[in-house]
Chain A
């Protein structure tokens, strides 16, 4: 479904992605692990068109979407829940959700709302509340719910467990599983590598802009180097 070939991204003098090759099949959860600064978020931002690629190509369902404007990429079915949640703080929960489906007409959204409310009943209770006043966990749900409003084929999740209490982390990972069960393909970035590897089908390891390892999640979670570097194992 998504096929990345030789992708390069630079920020000024900093070469953040140095020739990434990656592929995601329909229905998969793929996770990307790596330390801070390895380029994980840059990769997601390049896929969603926020950061321009300086080389290589990104094919989505056979179409080259490299350096396409972000709003066209959303229309093609890729949505992202960004790192740090990035909800619109002064807008209500309802307005945030509406914006998630910005490219669609208001009258076609009943199904999308229903789906989000089923996954996140808490959001339905908070519709008229300003998003900035939500708790961290609720904001994370809003960020994911908002991304789902566009009815994406591929969902990019950047650090969904960031800054959440352990019981909420658990909940979020359950939800990721449920969303995937509904047929949404997911690319997940997580610093909580254990949790990520436990829900993912396959995984890639990113180090200073290069993919250094990839394989089935199960296999990688047994890999000694991975355990030492990311899983806190000995």
Chain B
């Protein structure tokens, strides 16, 4: 179910309506039913039911076992490992087998061996990349003593499948959400208003901005022969915004709905494009993914005996500072490869949202002392607006570059796109005509500019406190006015519905 579809709107109205009508002790059960419906919507089959049950039973059973044998480190560790292996195993089988096959096929081709593995496509459930990691974190948290296992299998199922999270996250921790998820919630008018405002803002970002940007990006990337040079550059610069508005807009919808219910979820985005370095960027973009990887991969890795021994050994050869960096970079490499792979089972994701990010951040780290020296020598000040602006733009450009790989259909396609950018055709931007022929006309651009400025303003404001709170302090005419403008912007300017221009009808022959 698409978060911005009419079906989903209807679904939420019904689900939330029932939620607040039933006796409060059944509320969590209503959430469970809704989540099951959402999970299997248009996707109910023997294979998908088995997939879901597998993860649920593994998490539920091993969760209880780890909890029970908490005092016996050997036993509880074994249960932890088996549980994780099952969940991870199904994730890899369903999402990554083709990656392995493709890789092996490449190798076979290189070795001139005349054999190719076949590719298979499994129908996996919506949210598999989210709930798999969430349930792994559940098991690990039980093992670490951060939380207790859930003894009620239905409540466990709800934690695994809480429907708003299935499409886009955020990653939740059992400890943080337990009370809200199973708790009793009285309908709160203020929460509803605030939640609705956030949801509407999210829908605006997706339908008015993201879809619109997508029309340009898709047109340019879909026809590399026609659209070269500055077309490609603009598309590459548009794409991160398209991704951001789509992703954060979806998160806003998810958070808004949860807020109406009374469930508090962790934030995923805090105005990331105001970051001055890529390192800072990833502290503000997809925050819960970074937190998951930090707590369950990065820290355990860094703290592991293997890594500590490596540090000791390299300390003797390269010195203290260098040895710390080596362990750090090695752990980061592993972490970012996983992050890249999490985004998708293809090399474009591993490179674009993984290795390239790692590379740039390592460069940022290693070049920092050098850049400081140069700045000092040249008298360049770092705490002035102009320098910060340069840093922000530089970060955006770097991120856009990595996203070329992320968006491309293959590594070869990404290289082609980059090559395409080196065609010199600045008139495309200046002749007041050409840029409006790549999927968006001049009116679309006007809408884009105004909405991007609005987005920019709201994000900038958000860094100094909740924008919604500021809105709710204003007078009712202003509040309602802003809301009506947003709603009608979505209804009139949103990119939804039948895909083509009705004005084409005018030119038909009869």
A and B together in one complex? no
* Residues in B lying within 8 Å of A, measured CB to CB: none
